[in-house]
Structure 1
Amino acid sequence: MTAVLHRLPATALRVLSASLLALSVTACGGGGGGGDNPGSNSSGGAPIAPAPAQLTLTGDSSASQGDSVGVVASLSEQGYNRFEWEQLSGPDVMPLAGNGTAGISFDAVFSGEYSFRLTASNPEGERLQDTFTISVAPSSASTRVQFRADRAVSEGADFSLRLNASDYTGTVNSWHFEQLSGPQADLVEDDSGQPVVFVTAPRVSGDQVITLRATLETTAGSFSDTAYVVVQDRPATNSDYFCDGDGQACATYEPLMPVYSYRADSPYRDVLKGCVYSNQLNDSNLCTLRTLPPIGLVSSAPTVDQIMDHVLVSHDWMGERFERFLTQLDNHGDFARLLRSVTAVVISSDVRPSFYWSLTGAIYLDPDSLWLSPAERDLINEQPDYRSGFSSALNFVTPWRYVKNNNYVFTYYEVKDRHHRDFYELEADLGSLLYHELAHAADAMSPAKLYSGLDRDDIFFNQARSASFVNKSVTAVNPMYSPELYALAEVRYRGAEASGTQREYTPADIAGFFFPDSANDFYSYSSPWEDTAMLFEETMMSLRYGIERDIAVTNRPVSPMSADDYVVSRGQRGRIASERIRPRASTAVQGLLPEAWAEADAHLKSMLPMALCAGEGWGQNLTPACEGESGLLRFAAPAPSQRIPMPVERPRSFIPPTRF
């Protein structure tokens, strides 16, 4: 098979480097060292049997009540990819958020002797076991800090650790982070005023444990906690799909988080990772549809069990949550049908933001839409989305939100507050994300294409492009025409440098470009794929949940203190019902999910868009009180009954560049 590499400019690829966490590593570093034949005796004698693999557990052997504690495992050989932790004694701390990986952590709420057994196994069925005991002493200390969370990472990986304080006395003066032992990692403190450290793991020639300490300085004294992180040796990168020639302009340079088939008995257990989440992918080993078929080729009406056979996770809880969502919250069967188009679902703590990749036919999900407990959230990377600063030179913002009955649908939870959230909150959060990512999947491999007779001995990408994508049909209906917004999308979503003219655009200018045109979101101008996915996502959220989407153009305040510092120049609720947009949205549903088309088309025709109030704040516009396109301002806008989060303009996903 011959392929041509369409490369992005080096600058664009470097900007993408923090986002494609799921796709590649640089060509340097990594494991796999040693001689050509480690089992031979260079002096010519009898072969020397290799030493047996060893498992070593490291962690907090003693602690005080209220501490955050953990245990990590290092192995003398690569290849062990399944880790099962079992609590043998002590106060119950199950479920362990880190189960499935080589590192666990928890808060020792009660004193006592906590004992755990780890079983590590490899694809050949070889198993290693060891136990570890943590003695937690009673404590009445008035101040306790927790440095979360102990974990396992790949060499070179980026991750974050957060310092929390509970019931502390005095006033906080400062905090700092330091490394106590192990090969040197790169530590960078968050510059947003949060007690978070971003860590880049060192390169290692075998599993190594690094020990980090966080210290809180208060007027009552210093308080510290320690975190253990095992840095796992990974195979060296030999894939040319993700890097330019010298390895300096990679779509991502972080090694992939270890993942495993959620179902140990999946018929695809041994091929899933290599097909969709490996830095070893190249022209010679891309998987055919016979090796890893789209779920729809297994069954035209897939069950949850059949879907879960295609799921890769970095932690057990991610797979458990996804399975529960499909079982309990897919009331219309939409997601099961849309999942027919994907080869795999990857859920990993290093995926940020979510994306779909037509090279592999898989969707990659950021687990920020799946967590329920603070311990689960601790394992999700807090590093900012790589696109965060792309539009800083522009003088406008295009915020969006989902609303129902004039209230926010998504509840914003501060990480530091250690909130739990209810499972049913995932309906809108994960549901909207899946409608978007699965729209991309069905765009590439539509139901019509899926059952048209695919060559199972060909790779997914070739078969996906063998016929037209759905987005071509959508683009043909009332096509978007604003050259200014297409050019601005290159700045906002791909990191292009803003021109002098673009820097001078006012919110009124942008509103004048956007609202007469036929896109339902600014992100639609980034590609026909995103245009189609945005139309589909908004339509299905309205149809299935009665949830509407707000979109607006506002100013960009220098130092915003509240959401109302963002003043609406023009905005709309339910924009998909606009005359030029409604037929485009209907066409998207017809191509992506034909089973829902008649119902969706009728729903779109029943909707009416609502104007937001020009001249009022984003928070005030949660309950619009305008007439027509613009109206008189309220004499006194009512204060919100709850804290209104700052506006969001960043989309939750992206489409990575494809090598072909």
Structure 2
Amino acid sequence: MKKSLGYVVISLFWLTACGGSSDDESGAPDISPPPVTPEGLTRCDQQVELETVTTDSAIRFYLERDYAVGKPGSIAAKLNNQNVSDYQFTWSQTAGQPLTLTTVKSPILAFTASQAGSYSFSLSVTNNNVTSTESITINVDASQTAQLPVRVDHQSSEGSAVSFRIDSSDSSVPSDINWCIASGPALNVDISSPEQALFTAPNINEDTISILTASAIINGTAVTDNVQLLITNEPDISSPYFEQRLANTFAYQANSAYADVLQDCVYSNQLQQSCAISQLPLIGQASEVNTQAILDRVLVSHQWMGENFEYFLKNLDPNSDFATLLESVTAVVISYDVRPSFYWVVTGAIYLDPNDLWLLAAERDTIIEAPDFRSGFGNDLDFLMPWRYVKNNSYTSYTTPRSIRTDRTPQQMMPDLASLLYHELAHANDFFPRSSHSSLIGPTLLDDYQRRSSASELVSDQLVNFEPLTSQ
């Protein structure tokens, strides 16, 4: 264990001038619950019970008492006396008007139906190459009342940051918003912004469903909605690097030769030391780089994140600029709890905040809203560095408040994602440019980095030699 692997050190210039990222050479950024002053939520006067549906296997479904058009809903799945985190889940819709499904690899399937009718789903649960498959059918009724949509039902590991948000529009702005606990453990929740609930999932002894109820007044009518959180029991944190609870992730390409080592080597609360190059080499070391070789190294918390990244590589990188730069990383991690994006030499991976990848409003709903821990770094400084990215003297970034649910096009996604990748991959190619790949001897990339850094062989070292810094 290297004693130098410690706390995050982030350059203020990189934070302000490059749009937000870190390249720490020693420790991982703080992926932590939101820094808020929470308050204990009261329990609702009326508690909520889900309908339990047993099956011939260990799978149990948990259904809401009613589903309605325009109302966010979900189906939860648990396993008898077993932790769902030990299993892989795959949902598919088998009947009914097609739905936008963004949590098909989660034990909670979230959706919002736009038409009444019957909807059927199939769920496959796999562990140690043994798969159980069960089906479930629900009925969605026509909406008879005003809606207070709260998004989005999901799974979260104990100790992880959680966020829920109430939808609003110009014609239906909710007032007199209140939150309460309708089922599950006690929660300390930040509701300083009433339309948003932020908290840390409590520690539990077994997988537990928590239900919050939000109530409000819209156009003079009292409205309510429930939102579900499946809190999953997880192994104790033993990693000296990732000391805050991480989201559950999976290999985007299940048949990748690296599928079994990706999570353990780059995004695990049990990571004890850097993996050897023989286990997880740089992408450019292992094979001729193409889109498939890159996708084989993608680790995600949601299927749509991998799909959008694949679209980006295949359709928005015509000259293979990013494919070439990606040769110098071991993996690409895209997870709803990554904030900010960063590159980390200890694992050789690049970690991407999915805020730069969403295309559908339903995809954005799944991204945690825990604040970027760097947001207050400049508060004590009498200094501001304005900057912007422009094209034809217009802003290239596509920005819209989270409170406004809207889709965006790949072309609107492209500028922010491209600038982010250029920045983070510049760090990777500074440490391990393609010209160095054949000379890396390991046993880990960290060992090679320390040798190259001590010998002043980094690209940034060459730049400083060529153009020395002179300002005091």
TM-score (norm. length: structure 1) = 0.61
Structure 2: which amino acid aligns with 1:118? L
* 1:105 positional shift: 1.3
- CA-atom RMSD in angstroms: 2.5
1:92 aligns with 2:98: yes
Cα 1:130–1:210, aligned 2, differ >3 Å: closer, same or farther? farther
Q: Which residue matches 2:165?
A: 162
* 1:20 positional shift: 2.5
1:282 aligns with 2:282: no
Q: Which residue matches 2:153?
A: 150
Query: 2 CA distance for matches of 1:205 and 1:446?
Result: 46
Q: Which residue matches 2:254?
A: 264
Q: Which residue matches 1:465?
A: 450
Q: Which residue matches 1:183?
A: 185
Q: Select the residue among 256, 259, 282 that pairs with 1:294.
A: 282
Is the partner of 2:347 in helix, strand or coil?
Answer: coil
The correspondence of residues 109-258 of structure 1 with structure 2, limited to 5 A, is 109-122=114-127, 124-141=128-145, 143-165=146-168, 172-189=174-191, 191=192, 193=193, 195-218=195-218, 220-242=220-242, 253=244, 255-258=245-248
Higher relative contact order (CA 8 A, sep 6+): 2
Query: 1 CA distance for matches of 2:458 and 2:59?
Result: 49
Q: Which residue matches 2:467?
A: 478
The correspondence of residues 12-91 of structure 1 with structure 2, limited to 5 A, is 20-21=30-31, 54-75=58-79, 76-78=81-83, 80-91=86-97
Is the partner of 2:463 in helix, strand or coil?
Answer: helix
Is the partner of 2:359 in helix, strand or coil?
Answer: coil
Structure 1: which amino acid aligns with 2:296? D
Query: 2 CA distance for matches of 1:274 and 1:128?
Result: 25
Cα 1:4–1:163, aligned 2, differ >3 Å: closer, same or farther? same
Deviations 1:37-57 (A, max 9, x none): xxxxxxxxxxxxxxx983222
* 1:129 positional shift: 3.0
Structure 1: which amino acid aligns with 2:132? L
1:382 aligns with 2:369: yes
Structure 2: which amino acid aligns with 1:163? I
Query: 2 CA distance for matches of 1:332 and 1:133?
Result: 47
Is the partner of 2:403 in helix, strand or coil?
Answer: helix
Q: Pick the structure with more helix per residue.
A: 1
Query: 1 CA distance for matches of 2:427 and 2:418?
Result: 14
Deviates more, 1:204-213 or 1:256-265: 204-213
The correspondence of residues 328-343 of structure 1 with structure 2, limited to 5 A, is 328-343=315-330
Contact 1:174 / 1:218 at 8 angstroms: preserved in 2?
no
Query: 2 CA distance for matches of 1:22 and 1:465?
Result: 28
Is the partner of 2:149 in helix, strand or coil?
Answer: strand
* 1:218 positional shift: 4.2
Q: Which runs of 5+ in 1 are unaligned?
A: 11-15, 24-51, 243-251, 484-660
* 1:395 positional shift: 3.1
Percent of aligned positions that are identical = 36
Query: 1 CA distance for matches of 2:337 and 2:298?
Result: 16
1:322 aligns with 2:306: no
* 1:150 positional shift: 0.6
TM-score (norm. length: structure 2) = 0.85
* 1:447 positional shift: 1.5
Query: 1 CA distance for matches of 2:411 and 2:87?
Result: 32
The structure with more radius of gyration: 1
Contact 1:81 / 1:260 at 8 angstroms: preserved in 2?
no
Q: Select the residue among 284, 291, 295 that pairs with 1:304.
A: 291
Contact 2:181 / 2:211 at 8 angstroms: preserved in 1?
yes
Structure 2: which amino acid aligns with 1:431? A
Query: 2 CA distance for matches of 1:7 and 1:353?
Result: 18
Q: Which runs of 5+ in 2 are unaligned?
A: 10-23, 34-55
Structure 1: which amino acid aligns with 2:324? R
Query: 2 CA distance for matches of 1:413 and 1:146?
Result: 19
Query: 2 CA distance for matches of 1:295 and 1:266?
Result: 13
Q: How many residues align?
A: 428
Cα 1:389–1:379, aligned 2, differ >3 Å: closer, same or farther? same
Q: Which residue matches 1:499?
A: none
Deviations 1:278-297 (A, max 9, x none): 111114xx311111111011
Q: Which residue matches 1:443?
A: 430
Contact 1:22 / 1:364 at 8 angstroms: preserved in 2?
no
